[in-house]
Amino acid sequence: MSGNVEMEPEIAAAAALDLERFGPAPTHLPGDPAAARAEQERRRRPWNEGGPVMAETRNFRLDFPDRSIDARLYVPQGAGDGLVLYLHGGGWVVGSLDTHDRLTRMLAQLSGQRFLGIGYRKAPEHPYPAALLDALDTWQWLQANAATLGVRRFAVAGDSAGANLAAALAMTVGAAGQPAPAAFASLYGVFDSNLDSVSYLMRGDGRFGLSRAGMSVFWDLYCPDVGARRGYSLSPARANEEQLRTLRRPYLMAAGLDPLRDDSRRMRDVLVGAGVTTAYAEFPHANHGFCHLSSVSASARMALGQAADHLKRALAED
């Protein structure tokens, strides 16, 4: 990753610092998912230091009939009456509330809205649709507890695999005729199970972090049934027009050096084709995951600011 002339200098410097601190990052998952989770926690810890201080940060458990999951509520100073359900990335296998703590705090601060993150169940121990069911059950819990939380409007957002879950949640809720999220925001989302796009083939060798081989492993662990991946709850960009139209006020952000870049481009195109007004931004000199680098990267701060502003305006309009 480091030293590539295409990459924003601050992001390249961060990659070099990671290399110095931790050694080469794995470009695909090892055989032990638990070890992969611990490795990501270790590598992300320094980038979660500092950042905005919330008026309240509350950790608690969400109890559902057959399971409990961790949740974290972020309340910025002067919070409005909106709440964003945030679903973290990590290929449905790694990632946690802690790996995405600063990123979520940044979005909460910049938007002036409450954010709720959840520690949804992970593959391979809990393959599809476990993570999506956790997100859907959390959404229903939010609707039932709106008054207690002091909110009236809700949106959904996520990064990478979390954006995949967020899009699937929004379309599933909308298709069921239930109140849909006021907005959907994605940071370099996974929107298709196709691994043969131009960006996968050009950017997927691991030079920029995330690799095509790594995404292949993530897909195999999350949904071993290759045929099932064509459905919109796994590949949102393959949704039909009726399903796409349930996605309200979408915002899509892509990174130019990301193998997933074309997922966002395709999602934008199918939404626009379905008549859905869609906000889109692309950061050509950034890689997958760069929004974790808000302490050093101007592009990360700008990307988070744009997503937060979109959510803030959408919640005010609803």
Residue 122 falls in which region: left (phi positive, over 0), alpha (psi -120 to 50) or beta: beta
- Three-state secondary structure of 9-50: HHHHHHHHHHHHHHCCCCCCCCCCHHHHHHHHHHHHHHHHCC
What is the rounded distance in angstroms from the CA atom of residue 36 to the CA atom of residue 44?
12
Give the catalytic positions in this structure.
160, 258, 288
> Nearest CA to 235 among 263, 271, 265, 201?
263
Q: How far is it, in rounded angstroms, from Cα 106 to Cα 312?
A: 13
Name the phi and psi angles at 86, rounded to 5: -110, 125
Give yes or no for a contact between 138 and 118, defined as CB atoms under 8 angstroms apart: yes
Instruction: Choose among 310, 265, 311: nearest CA to 284.
Output: 265
